Amino acid sequence: QVQLVEFGGDSVQPGGSLRLSCVASGFADSSSRMGWFRQAPGQEREGVAAINRYATTDYADSVEARFALSKDNVRGTLYLQMDNLRPEDTAMYYCAADPAMGGAYPSRQPSAYTYWGQGTQVTVSS
């Protein structure tokens, strides 16, 4: 059974930090493309950051230099470290996995992914 579960969303002030976790089970996340996406009310789901099995990463321009991906293959967990958060970062954040194309260049397109978590809410406000 394939499952992705996100943790770590919270309400923080601008300039604060959060670390999101995506715990994967039922597949080899170490050999999969994975990514973090976010969706605010009334907006399309957008790709935040993505990583392939070779640890190549791709970040959205809006988060580059502020967000960082990392993986713990032993624990089957994908992390998103988010620093210097801004109000426009407020959204539901989703983890996604693409086991079939793990060696391809990381994709920030939602259509590339087969499995999705249920999301964790990030709110940045003063």
d(CA 73, CA 87): 32
pLDDT of residue 93: 98
State what percent of residues in the chain have pLDDT above 90. 89
- pLDDT of residue 14 exceeding 90: yes
3-state secondary structure (DSSP) of residue 8? coil
Length of the chain: 126
- Strands 120-124 and 57-59: what pairing? unpaired
Give 37-48 pLDDT, tens digit per residue.
Answer: 999 999 999 999
Give 67-116 pLDDT, tens digit per residue.
Answer: 999 999 888 999 999 999 999 999 999 999 999 999 999 999 999 999 99
Closest CA to 20 of 113, 122, 116: 122
When pLDDT is averaged across residues 10-20 and rounded to a whole number, the result is 98
pLDDT of residue 29: 78
9 pLDDT tier (thresholds 50, 70, 90): very high
d(CA 22, CA 62): 21
When pLDDT is averaged across residues 54-62 and rounded to a whole number, the result is 96
Query: Average pLDDT, whole number, for the chain?
Result: 95
Residue 85 · residue 14 · CB < 8 Å: yes
3-state secondary structure (DSSP) of residue 113? coil
